């Protein structure tokens, strides 16, 4: 049976690794943040230790065979239901949360590695994941921001004809719309605009400020989709 000091070390490493990844997601105010990532990583670590050492009392018993990898495999496949809960489908193929879902799946594997005593692999993977989440962001913005669709959600007063004014602002900025959707509510109307990628995407913030300056507009939310 595994000794308690090893158990403490493995769970501590898993908590640290999951917390580091979760801190980055918490910083961006995602639903799956610090606590979620830590719990997934620690839970995976425990599942790995149970899978490996939890059946020591029946090892060697006649007609009993064990496969320690089965519990680990179920962790990797079962984490999907948590990852699915972090993915948001907004409007017209606009999807958010895929990176967070992938991060949860990865920290579950990190937890399994820590539970199996593979400390270097767990820590190295954590470092690489953090580099992907933080270090690649500037590179992504530099090379791929112009290819991304922009979704603008505009909340305005009902009874106001907003589209002509918004369309005029878009024309002035040299931007075109691939999708428009409106939604009526009791006191407000919500307009969804999906902008086509173009060179003018560098002016997205001034565009948002122009739309916010329209008197009937209450709020403008900007999403970016790859």
Q: Are 59 and 82 in a shared domain?
A: yes
Predicted TM-score (pTM) above 0.85: no
End-of-domain residue from the set 144, 163, 179 = 144
Residue 133 and residue 108 share a domain: yes
pLDDT of residue 226: 45
Phi, psi (degrees; rounded to nearest 5) at 82: -75, -45
User: What is the C-alpha to C-alpha distance for residues 98 and 86, in angstroms, rounded to an integer?
Assistant: 8
- Pick the last residue of a domain from 91, 111, 144: 144
Do 103 and 76 fall into the same domain? yes
pLDDT tens digit sequence for 46-84: 888 888 877 666 666 776 676 767 777 888 778 877 777
Q: How far is 170 from 194, CA to CA, in rounded Å?
A: 12
Residue 72 and residue 25 share a domain: yes
Task: Confirm if 199 and 98 have CB atoms less than 8 A apart.
Answer: no
State the SS3 of the chain. Answer: CCCHHHHHHHHHHHHHHHHHHHHHHHHCCCCCCHHHHHHHHHHHHHHHHHHHHCCHHHCCCCCCCCCCHHHHHHHHHHCHHHHHHCCEECCCCCEECHHHHHHHHHHHHHHHHHHCCCHHHHHHHHHHHHHHHHHHHHHHHHHHHHHCEEEEEEEEECCCCCHHHHHHHHHHHCCCEEEEEEEECCCEEEEEEEECCCHHHHHHHHHHHHHHCCCCEEEEEEEEEC
For a pLDDT cut of 70, what percent of the chain falls above it? 76
The mean predicted confidence, pLDDT, of the chain is 78
**Residue 14 pLDDT:** 92
**Within this chain, do residues 66 and 159 fall inside the same structural domain, yes or no?**
no
Pairing mode, if any, of strands 95-96 and 88-89?
A: antiparallel
* Residue (of 155, 153, 205, 154) closest to 175 by Cα position: 205
| Total domains present in the chain | 2
The token pair at 35 is: 């606590």
Same domain, 47 and 128: yes
Would you say 190 and 162 are in contact if contact means Cβ atoms under 8 Å apart?
no
Q: CA–CA separation, 223 vs 217, rounded Å?
A: 17
Domain that holds residue 199: 148-225
Judgement on whether residues 9 and 51 belong to the same structural domain of the protein? yes
Kindly state whether residues 37 and 130 are assigned to the same domain.
yes
- Among 102, 119, 144, the domain boundary falls at 144
Asked if 71 and 156 sit in the same domain, the reply is: no
- Is pLDDT at 172 greater than 60 in this prediction? yes
Is the per-residue pLDDT at 200 higher than 60? no
pLDDT at res. 2: 76
* pLDDT in the model for residue 13: 93
What local confidence, expressed as pLDDT, does residue 8 receive? 92
pLDDT, average across residues 195-220: 76
pLDDT at 199 over 70: no
**Whether residue 169 is found in the same domain as residue 196:** yes
Claim to verify: residue 20 and residue 132 sit in the same structural domain? yes
Q: Are residues 61 and 122 in the same domain?
A: yes
Kindly report, residue by residue over 10-34, the tens digit of the pLDDT. 999 999 998 888 887 777 666 667 8
């Amino acid at each position: 049976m595994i000794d308690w000091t090893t158990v403490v070390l493995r769970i501590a490493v898993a908590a640290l690794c999951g917390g580091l990844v979760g801190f980055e997601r918490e910083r961006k105010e995602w639903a799956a943040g610090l606590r979620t990532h830590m719990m997934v990583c620690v839970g995976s670590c425990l599942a790995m230790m149970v899978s490996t050492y939890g059946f020591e009392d029946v090892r060697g018993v006649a007609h009993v065979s064990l496969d320690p990898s089965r519990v680990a495999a179920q962790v990797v496949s079962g984490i999907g239901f948590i990852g699915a809960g972090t993915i948001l489908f907004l409007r017209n193929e606009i999807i958010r949360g895929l990176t967070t879902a992938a991060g949860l799946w990865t920290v579950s594997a990190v937890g399994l590695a820590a539970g199996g005593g593979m400390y270097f692999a767990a820590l190295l993977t954590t470092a690489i994941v953090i580099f992907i989440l933080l270090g690649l962001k500037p590179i992504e913005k530099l090379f791929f921001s112009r290819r991304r669709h922009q979704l603008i959600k505009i909340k305005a007063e009902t009874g106001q004809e907003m589209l002509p004014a918004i369309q005029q602002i878009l024309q002035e900025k040299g931007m075109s719309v691939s999708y428009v959707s409106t939604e009526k509510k009791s006191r407000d109307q919500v307009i969804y605009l999906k902008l086509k990628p173009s060179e003018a995407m560098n002016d997205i913030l001034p565009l948002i400020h122009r739309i916010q300056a329209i008197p009937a507009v209450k709020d403008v939310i900007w999403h970016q989709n790859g």
